[in-house]
Each structure stands twice: as structure tokens, then as C-alpha cells.
Amino acid sequence: MSHDLGRSPTPSELATHLELDVDTVREGLLAADAYRASSLEAPIGGGDDALTIADQLTDDTSEYTKSDDRLMLKGALAELSPRDRDIVRMRFVDELTQSQIAERIGVSQMQVSRLLARALEQLRNHIVI
């Protein structure tokens, strides 16, 4: 049809020629695009600062990055006292307030605040980025 028309046929022209409905032809055309590979460096959109496909695939929160972070944190947590580890866990895993933690461990909220600040400082010092 391209040769006869001197251009690419429209989906409706293809549908008429093939005796199919236009939606089926459009689905076929979209499916045919799946067999064409695009460069990962191909720009998406226009402009000089357009993103590439590779830019879209990059994810700083990938499972690999998360697992590295977990290992680093695990090592740093091991350096804390059991009590400090419990306080950090209650605050950031169990999501308890400082007052709730204070009730559980039998100290004041102000003491929990100080203990938590000290524990977080130790973690920061252990995790050097």
C-alpha cells in the first residue's frame, strides 16, 4: 500500500484493505513497535537537556542501594548498647513517641530525648559516607 499511495497508509486505510476494524489495526501497529529496539541514550522529548531512557531507568533507591544501606546500618547498630538499640528500634521501627518509650523503659521523656540523640550521634559517627 505504501508503494501504491506514495506514503504510509493510515490505520483506517489499512483496516479497510485488510477488512479489519481500526482498533485491531492500531493494536497491531503498536505491537509491531515492540520489535524495534531503542537506544538507552535516545532523548525523550525535545530540547538540549532532554532526559534519556537510561536517565529514566536510574533509581537511587534500588534494592542494591537499599541493601548496602541496611548492611551499613546493621554494623552501626551493633556498636550501640542493647538499651540504645532498643530505643532506636522503638522510635524508628515501632514508631513510638519519646513519651511512649519513656513509659516502657521507666525514664522521663527528656532522658529518652538525650539517649536517642546520643545513639543517633554514635550511628552518624560510625556511618561515614
The predicted model scores a pTM of 0.51
CATH 1.10.10.10 fits 79-126, yes or no: yes
What pLDDT, in 10s, does the model give residues 51-101?
777 776 666 666 777 788 888 889 999 999 999 999 999 999 999 999 999
Q: Roughly how many angstroms between the first and final C-alpha of the chain, as a whole number?
A: 62
Nearest to 38 by CA among 57, 24, 25: 57
Residues with Cβ within 8 Å of 15's Cβ and at least 6 positions away in sequence, in order, are: 21, 22, 24, 25
Domains of the chain, residue spans: 2-57, 79-126
Cell, residue 32? 509491531
